[in-house]
């Protein structure tokens, strides 16, 4: 063909197809959906962090206008509705399973955090439901509460669950303790460092929403929900909570406005509206309000850690010991237990050839909102701990922080590299990403910039973070052996239509990632179909085979690989059809980007010729090949993928106000093969925005009684455009060695690599003040406190 | 929000009549404070009296040495008014820092002044500039109008109609924003006026906007940033929260005062 078209395949910075509808307000989110006869639900939530429910009087509320029904926990318990299940079981050091207390969808006898749902009101309008919810009288007896991670384990602390003595969920470890102790015994220096990883509220732009719908004639339930993984919700809710067979339960997750992990989990409200729809025989919509989301969406992070690094006399790492306390909140959210264990401690080797590591993690219950995976999930916590520790150790050992890192890097010739904490990294080149970042950030010229800032009364600092993460989750057998109660393969169906356009069904779910574009590019690249003729279908269990959804930067590495495998099947079948049509041997048929050719000849058939023949099989080897051109592949990855790289941040601090400004940020990431560079840049920048948010701005603050002090945007500092620099993003590619696309994933790298780069810069800016460490977030008040204390000491 | 009756009068007289007849009714101008409170069900007025249809309350005029700003004049209009920029550039610059573009195109000076949020900007400006607040009944000097956090001399049903601001010799404003809400955590407005130097502090006071007399005296003697550098307000008079302790705010007041003087020139 001589027609020149713009290249749309792998490597093209194609504009996002989905943005045309998003930017014009034409997206279809759950709250945009209205079912005939729809009613509205409002959750009555606990104002107490911890209390017994002595009595709930709903009589007055039931009599109010428009009220269809009011349900409390006992109503669900009476029908043997199950608790909200946890999808991952961790085992203690002694082999016993973790404490896994019941998590009722509506509180039963006790509330355990502010926001714990106590009753649901269903009414003709939302306003009527709210009015009625206010008329419900709940007699509580407040109990002492515990909110702090360390406080939860103190003797005499209030007990969150009878089934979890001492508030301990689990006491877990990984690594070789004896080897670690031996390594420390011969160390020239041991550097100890303690830090807290601040609790965050995800705050997706779209609040959660759910519509339960029940067809009394067919007995079919439908749940429309803001989910990153509708099949997982169908499995968990159908099998464990409501006992509805899959064939009778459809879960639809349409356009979803951001997730960052917080929309992975099965939430109580989903089960409540689905179950209640069957009771009232009307569709029920629930849409979370922003202030409600602060106290009901799973939070992120919240670790308290101590780390010790053993060095030899030359500054080579001999071993690492880590002790971490992780706050689970009041109940176990779906994947909460794996976050501070297998998504965290397994990353503690970082990019360094650390010979031995021993880590212990205790997870605790508190009277706070449940904590679960949030963009990066465990890996930001590990990276922050390790990369701050590297700076502290370099300073104490009198080593240059870049040279210290380089000296301990895993070298390119060491891949595949087996860490002492279970993971085997397949590829990477940490020296290369470091060198690129140092160059791009003009690391060498920093002292000049620092002096210039000082002349203007500002404190300038530079910080570096070299990191690796594990994503593309995950090999099902491996995670199963570690306690996962689900598989983590992905599915893709390629449906080539008679005239050659393509519909892709994927179990991955797009909630901002640009799948409709990236996945279309995979098809364009391999099958030669223009992206305009490729539609991506996701988010509906009635349309898509059982898939696992999107989180852990898995969509491309796992879901894309499934599509690639399915396209291989399409090509293989197409070659057989083409061989028949061209009267050639199938071994002689080649395929490249839309054209089947008899090797060494000018005889060709287009994909469209083949698809038409497949669906109109007049001249067709019907005895040998089935009609149709549609293939499905399930892909289970052989390993995690390991993106990594180097982030460099430069900050300036105004010592008079304590305000920190990020003036420069450079990211050089290795995310494997890049399909759409523009989307990768956007993903990395978005992750860095959240990383800067964690480092400088965001903190979920509870008081000792369990009240959330940062319960709205008036007190929870979300990063805004003006808080962010123009982030320079570059990539350096080493291919993933075990998936067919060579891709690693880019969704989380920004949030993982950036916080320590920012905080290392903040500490560097304060270097003349003798500051060893600053806890996140580095708020103006906190920085001023440091500056002021120094000033007082100097006087 | 709870149900309420809605009125949209076309004149101040009609608005006042509705408000006088119903003490539970609340006037609304831009609604930048009242609307969120209604949506959160923190406020339950019987009626909302929408002032936005009253043309006589809008606009900026200069009368001799005084700027007269109609109560319904939006922040955006103050920020971009050639009259304000020429007469009191610090006031126009302040208006430009209120909220965001959407807020500046909804919120009004009268609404902000009548609400007297301790972290709002205008109360500091009006107090420091020695403005007079005109209502449907009377004229009140700013010193008598602002009576503490969310409290003013306004009687129930009384409406701010205009603000009269004597044009100062020079004026300046600086604020440190609350990192989350972006309201002022500590702001200082300084003005050199015919009636002397006046300094007003917003955002920091435990009882709302207040004048800082020690700084006024210091600046009257020596109009320079150095003159206020050594003056620290008593933290026990200031507000504290998770974003800023009273001690931090006290420090910020001094820093912002210095910057306001520099801003004034």
**pLDDT score recorded for residue A2:** 38
**Two tokens at A525?**
């690249």
Give the domain range for residue B18: 5-49
pLDDT band per the 50, 70, 90 thresholds, residue B176: very high
Find chain B residues with C-beta within 8 A of A131's C-beta: 2
A131 and A154 co-located in one domain: no
Q: Convert the pLDDT of each residue in B230-263 to its tens digit.
A: 999 999 999 999 999 999 999 999 999 999 999 9
Residue of A nearest to B1 (CA): A127
- The span from the first CA to the last CA of chain B, in angstroms, equals 47
- Pairing, β B47-50 against β B25-28: parallel
What does the alpha-carbon distance between residue B168 and residue B196 come to, in Å, rounded to a whole number?
9
CB contact under 8 A, A291 and B40: yes
**A131, A697, A781 member nearest B248 (Cβ):** A781
Q: Report DSSP letters for A672-691, one per residue.
A: BS-S-HHHHHHHHHHHHHHH
Distance from CA of B11 to the nearest CA of A (A): 32
Q: Count contacts between A and B (CB, < 8 Å).
A: 44
Best mutation target among A656, A788, A795 (most B Cβ atoms within 10 Å) is A656
Q: Is residue A416 part of a domain?
A: no
**pLDDT score recorded for residue A5:** 62
Q: Is residue A1 part of a domain?
A: no
Partners of B244 in beta bridges: B241
Q: Is residue B54 part of a domain?
A: no
Sign of CA dihedral A627, A628, A630, A632: negative
Q: Please give the DSSP secondary-structure letter assigned to residue A695.
A: I
A465 and A538 co-located in one domain: no
Residue A244 Cα distances to A93, A210, A264, A274, A277, angstroms:
36, 17, 20, 10, 13
A385 and A497 co-located in one domain: no
**pLDDT score recorded for residue A3:** 43
CB contact under 8 A, B180 and A713: yes
Partners of A120 in beta bridges: A43, A71
Helix (H) / strand (E) containing A648:
strand A644-654
Contact by Cβ (8 Å): A427, A726:
no
Q: Convert the pLDDT of each residue in B31-74 to its tens digit.
A: 999 999 999 999 999 999 999 999 999 999 999 999 999 999 99
Question: Cα B105 to chain center, whole Å?
Answer: 16
Q: Is residue A710 part of a domain?
A: yes
CB contact under 8 A, B179 and A697: yes
**pLDDT score recorded for residue A794:** 85
A524 and A570 co-located in one domain: yes
User: For residue B147, which phi and psi values (nearest 5 degrees)?
Assistant: -115, 35
Provide the b/e sequence for B200-226 (b: ≥16 CB within 10 Å): bbbbbbbebbbbbeebbebbeeebebe
**B3, B179, B251 member nearest A784 (Cβ):** B251
Mean pLDDT over each residue of chain B, to the nearest integer? 97
What does the alpha-carbon distance between residue A93 and residue A403 come to, in Å, rounded to a whole number?
37
B90 and B63 co-located in one domain: yes
Residue of B nearest to A785 (CA): B248
What does the alpha-carbon distance between residue B247 and residue B236 come to, in Å, rounded to a whole number?
8
**pLDDT score recorded for residue A795:** 82
Longest dimension (CA), chain A: 95
What does the alpha-carbon distance between residue A296 and residue A201 come to, in Å, rounded to a whole number?
10
The low-confidence residues of chain A, meaning pLDDT below 70, are: 1-5
- Report, in angstroms and rounded to the nearest whole number, the Rg of chain A calculated over CA atoms: 28
A172 and A222 co-located in one domain: no
A513 and A631 co-located in one domain: yes
Q: Is residue A10 part of a domain?
A: no
Find chain B residues with C-beta within 8 A of A659's C-beta: 176
Q: Convert the pLDDT of each residue in B129-149 to its tens digit.
A: 999 999 999 999 999 999 999
**A657, A716, A717 member nearest B176 (Cβ):** A657
**pLDDT score recorded for residue A1:** 37
- Going by C-alpha positions, the residue among A764, A762, A782 that lies closest to residue A657 is A782
Residues B66-83: what's their mean pLDDT?
98
Find chain B residues with C-beta within 8 A of A130's C-beta: 41
Q: What burial class does residue B65 get, using C-beta atoms within 10 Å of its C-beta: 0-12 exposed, 13-18 middle, 19+ buried? A: exposed
B155 and B205 co-located in one domain: no
Residue of B nearest to A708 (CA): B242
CB contact under 8 A, B181 and A714: yes
CB contact under 8 A, B176 and A659: yes
CB contact under 8 A, B179 and A780: yes
Residue of B nearest to A703 (CA): B242
Instruction: Report the domain count for chain B.
Output: 3
Where residue A670 sits, what CATH number does that domain have? 3.30.365.10
For A360, the 3-state DSSP assignment is: strand
B63 and B162 co-located in one domain: yes
A136 and A149 co-located in one domain: no
B196 and B241 co-located in one domain: yes
Best mutation target among B180, B187, B254 (most A Cβ atoms within 10 Å) is B180
What does the alpha-carbon distance between residue A581 and residue A618 come to, in Å, rounded to a whole number?
11
Give the domain range for residue A48: 35-143+210-294
What does the alpha-carbon distance between residue A379 and residue A348 come to, in Å, rounded to a whole number?
9
Q: Give the B-side interface with A, CB within 8 Å.
A: 1-3, 40-41, 176, 179-181, 241-245, 248, 251-252, 255
**A656, A697, A701 member nearest B255 (Cβ):** A656
Contact by Cβ (8 Å): A649, A758:
yes
What does the alpha-carbon distance between residue A378 and residue A380 come to, in Å, rounded to a whole number?
6
Residue of B nearest to A132 (CA): B2
A517 and A572 co-located in one domain: yes
């Amino acid at each position: 063909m001589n027609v020149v078209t713009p290249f749309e395949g792998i490597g093209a910075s194609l504009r996002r197809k989905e943005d045309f509808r998003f930017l014009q307000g034409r997206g279809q989110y759950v709250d945009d959906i209205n079912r005939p006869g729809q009613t509205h639900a409002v959750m009555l939530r606990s104002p107490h962090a911890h209390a017994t429910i002595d009595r709930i009087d709903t009589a007055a509320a039931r009599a109010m206008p428009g009220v269809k029904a009011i349900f409390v926990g006992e109503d669900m318990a009476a029908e043997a509705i199950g608790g909200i299940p946890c999808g991952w079981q961790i085992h203690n050091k002694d082999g016993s399973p973790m404490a896994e207390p019941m998590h009722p969808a509506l509180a039963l006898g006790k509330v355990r955090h502010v926001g714990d749902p106590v009753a649901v009101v269903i009414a003709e309008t939302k306003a009527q439901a709210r009015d009625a919810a206010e008329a419900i009288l709940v007699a509580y007896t407040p109990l002492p509460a515990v909110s702090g991670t360390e406080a939860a384990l103190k003797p005499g602390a209030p007990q969150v669950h009878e089934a979890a003595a001492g508030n301990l969920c689990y006491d877990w470890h990984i690594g070789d303790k004896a080897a670690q102790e031996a390594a420390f015994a011969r160390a020239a220096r041991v550097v100890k460092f303690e830090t807290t990883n601040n609790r965050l509220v995800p705050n997706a732009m779209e609040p959660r929403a759910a519509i339960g719908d029940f067809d009394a004639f067919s007995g079919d339930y439908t749940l429309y929900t803001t989910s990153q993984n509708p099949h997982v919700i169908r499995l968990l809710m159908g099998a464990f909570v409501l006992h509805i067979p899959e064939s009778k339960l459809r879960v639809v997750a349409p356009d979803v406005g951001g997730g960052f992990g917080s929309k992975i989990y099965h939430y109580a409200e989903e089960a409540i509206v689905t179950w209640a729809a069957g009771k009232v025989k009307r569709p029920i919509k629930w849409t979370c309000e922003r202030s409600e989301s602060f106290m009901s969406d799973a939070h992120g992070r919240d670790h308290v850690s101590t780390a010790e690094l053993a060095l030899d006399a030359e500054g080579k790492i001999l071993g690492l010991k880590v002790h971490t306390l992780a706050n689970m909140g009041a109940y176990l959210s779906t994947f909460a237990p794996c976050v501070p264990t297998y998504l965290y401690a397994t990353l503690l080797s970082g990019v360094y050839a650390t010979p031995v590591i021993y880590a212990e993690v205790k997870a605790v219950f508190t009277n706070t909102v449940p904590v679960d995976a949030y963009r990066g999930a465990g890996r930001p916590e590990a990276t922050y701990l390790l990369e701050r520790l590297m700076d502290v150790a370099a300073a104490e050992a009198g080593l240059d922080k870049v040279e210290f890192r380089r000296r301990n890097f895993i070298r390119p010739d060491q891949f595949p590299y087996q860490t002492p904490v279970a993971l085997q990294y397949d590829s990477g080149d940490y020296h290369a990403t470091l060198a690129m970042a140092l160059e791009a950030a003009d690391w060498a010229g920093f002292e000049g910039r620092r002096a210039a800032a000082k002349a203007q009364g500002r404190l300038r600092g530079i910080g570096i973070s070299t990191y690796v993460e594990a994503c593309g989750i995950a090999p099902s057998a491996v995670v199963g052996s570690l306690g996962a109660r689900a598989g983590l393969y992905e599915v893709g169906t390629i449906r080539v239509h008679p005239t050659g356009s393509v519909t892709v069904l994927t179990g991955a779910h797009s909630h901002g990632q640009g799948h409709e574009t990236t996945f279309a590019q995979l098809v364009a690249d391999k099958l030669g179909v223009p992206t305009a003729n490729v539609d991506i279908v996701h988010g509906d269990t009635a349309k898509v085979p059982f898939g696992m959804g999107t989180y852990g930067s898995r969509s491309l590495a796992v879901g894309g690989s499934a599509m690639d495998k399915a396209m291989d099947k399409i090509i293989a079948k197409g070659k057989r059809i083409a061989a028949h049509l061209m009267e050639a041997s199938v071994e002689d048929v080649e395929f490249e980007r839309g054209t089947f050719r008899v090797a060494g000849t000018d005889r060709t058939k287009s994909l469209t010729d083949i698809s038409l023949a497949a669906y109109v099989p007049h001249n067709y080897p019907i005895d040998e090949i089935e009609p149709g051109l549609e293939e499905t592949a399930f892909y289970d990855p052989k390993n995690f993928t390991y993106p990594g790289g180097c982030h460099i941040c430069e900050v300036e601090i105004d010592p008079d106000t304590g305000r920190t400004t990020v003036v420069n940020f450079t990211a050089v990431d290795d995310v494997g093969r890049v399909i759409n560079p523009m989307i990768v840049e956007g993903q990395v920048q978005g992750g860095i925005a959240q990383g800067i948010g964690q480092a400088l701005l965001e903190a979920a603050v509870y008081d000792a009684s369990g009240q959330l002090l940062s319960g709205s945007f008036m007190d929870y500092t979300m990063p805004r455009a003006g808080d962010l620099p123009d982030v320079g993003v570059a990539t350096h590619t080493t291919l993933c060695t075990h998936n067919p696309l060579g891709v690693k994933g880019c969704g989380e790298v920004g949030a993982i690599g950036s916080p320590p780069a920012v905080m290392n810069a903040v500490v560097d800016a304060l270097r003349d003040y003798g500051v060893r460490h600053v806890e996140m977030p580095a708020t103006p008040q906190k920085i001023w406190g440091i500056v002021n204390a120094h000033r007082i000491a100097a006087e | 929000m709870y149900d309420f009756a809605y009125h949209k009068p076309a004149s101040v007289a009609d608005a006042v009549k509705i408000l006088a007849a119903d003490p539970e009714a609340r006037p609304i101008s831009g609604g930048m404070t009242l609307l969120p409170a209604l949506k959160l069900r923190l406020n339950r007025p019987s009626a909302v009296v929408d002032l936005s249809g009253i043309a006589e309350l809008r606009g900026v005029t200069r009368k001799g040495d005084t700027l007269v700003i109609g109560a319904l004049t939006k922040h955006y209009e103050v920020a971009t008014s050639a009259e304000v920029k020429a007469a009191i550039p610090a006031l126009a610059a302040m208006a430009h820092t209120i909220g965001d573009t959407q807020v500046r195109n909804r919120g009004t000076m009268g609404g902000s002044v009548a609400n007297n949020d301790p972290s709002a900007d205008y109360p500091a400006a009006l107090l420091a500039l020695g403005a007079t607040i005109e209502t449907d009944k009377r004229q009140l000097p700013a010193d008598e109008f602002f009576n503490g956090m969310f409290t003013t001399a306004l009687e129930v049903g009384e409406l701010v109609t205009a603000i009269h601001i004597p044009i100062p010799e020079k004026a300046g404003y600086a604020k440190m924003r609350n990192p989350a809400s972006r309201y002022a955590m500590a702001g200082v407005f300084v003005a050199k006026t015919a009636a002397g130097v006046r300094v007003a502090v917003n955002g920091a006071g435990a009882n709302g906007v207040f004048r800082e007399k020690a700084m006024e005296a210091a600046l009257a003697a020596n109009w320079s940033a150095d003159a206020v550098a050594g003056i620290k307000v008593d933290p026990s008079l200031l507000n504290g929260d998770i974003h800023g302790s009273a001690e931090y705010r006290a420090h910020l007041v001094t820093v912002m005062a210095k910057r306001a003087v520099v801003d004034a020139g």
